[in-house]
């Protein structure tokens, strides 16, 4: 016995409704999964950004402790071997110096002072060189930075002076004889290890690199959110 047309039509309507409900359910489930993935991605991005910000704050906060003043250039240089006396000893530092509390001394091989009046200008301290004897000279410094940090250190360089020629002997007479005198020979000593002390400047580079990473991460996160929107 065949069903009436009305019964068949009602059955088709029910099947259509079931199919529609099934598609709607799948769409809802898919949308829910998509939102879940987006929420997880957003949470991961926020967590990474928070870690970067915290790390950057830690490094940048510690930078002032690392970035105290330090010697960056010296003339004459450490362990230099000179054949002529330099006009002056000049030291350049990382930060600006204060005149009060900044000291510079140069000691010759005979333990005598070999530097004139000290001059402080910006990041540089200098003094005219007055040594003449050959041998090792010790440069010692104590500088006071604008932030109040004191940096001490020393190093050596060598001045090699040519030996003086011996004078000609005096003519010998019957009444007296004069022995020729030999000119003094200047001795030179080898430079010793440097005792320079001071803080490094590389943490400034590290701080700049961390800041760049933070900015890049923030830009990338904002870009991803805009694409998803």
Domain chopping of the chain, boundaries: 1-67+201-229, 71-163+186-199
The answer to whether 137 touches 158, Cβ cutoff 8 Å, is: yes
Model confidence band, residue 136 (pLDDT cutoffs 50, 70, 90): very high
Confidence at residue 159, expressed as pLDDT on a 0 to 100 scale: 96
Q: Is the pTM of this model over 0.75?
A: no
> Selecting from 3.10.310.10, 2.40.128.20, 2.60.40.1220, 3.30.457.10, what CATH number does the domain 71-163+186-199 have?
2.60.40.1220
Confidence at residue 102, expressed as pLDDT on a 0 to 100 scale: 93
CA 124 – CA 52 distance, rounded (Å): 38
Q: What is the pLDDT of residues 143-193, one digit of tens each?
A: 987 777 889 999 999 999 765 544 555 555 554 454 445 444 444 444 444
Q: Which two tokens stand for residue 58?
A: 């830690």
Model confidence band, residue 124 (pLDDT cutoffs 50, 70, 90): very high
CA 120 – CA 99 distance, rounded (Å): 6
21 or 176, which is more confident: 21
Residue 102, class by beta-carbon neighbours within 10 Å (0-12 exposed, 13-18 middle, 19+ buried)?
A: buried
């Amino acid at each position: 016995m065949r069903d009436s047309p009305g019964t068949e039509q009602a059955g088709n309507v029910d099947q259509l409704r079931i199919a529609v409900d099934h598609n709607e359910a799948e769409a809802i489930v898919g949308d829910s999964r998509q939102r879940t993935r987006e929420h997880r991605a957003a949470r991961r991005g926020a967590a990474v950004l928070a870690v970067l910000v915290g790390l950057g704050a830690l490094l940048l906060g510690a930078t002032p402790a690392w970035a105290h003043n330090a010697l960056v250039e010296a003339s004459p240089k450490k362990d230099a071997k000179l054949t002529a006396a330099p006009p002056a000893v000049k030291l350049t530092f990382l930060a600006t110096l204060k005149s009060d509390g900044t000291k510079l001394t140069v000691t010759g091989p005979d333990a005598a002072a070999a530097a004139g009046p000290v001059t402080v200008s910006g990041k540089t301290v200098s003094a005219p060189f007055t040594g003449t004897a050959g041998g090792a000279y010790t440069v010692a410094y104590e500088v006071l930075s604008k932030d109040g940090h004191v940096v001490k250190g020393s190093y050596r360089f060598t001045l090699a002076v040519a030996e003086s020629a011996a004078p000609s002997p005096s003519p010998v007479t019957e009444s007296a004889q004069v022995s020729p005198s030999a000119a003094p020979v200047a001795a030179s000593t080898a430079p010793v290890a440097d005792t320079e002390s001071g803080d490094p400047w590389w943490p400034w580079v590290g701080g700049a690199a961390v800041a760049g990473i933070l900015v890049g991460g923030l830009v990338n996160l904002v870009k991803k959110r805009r694409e998803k929107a």
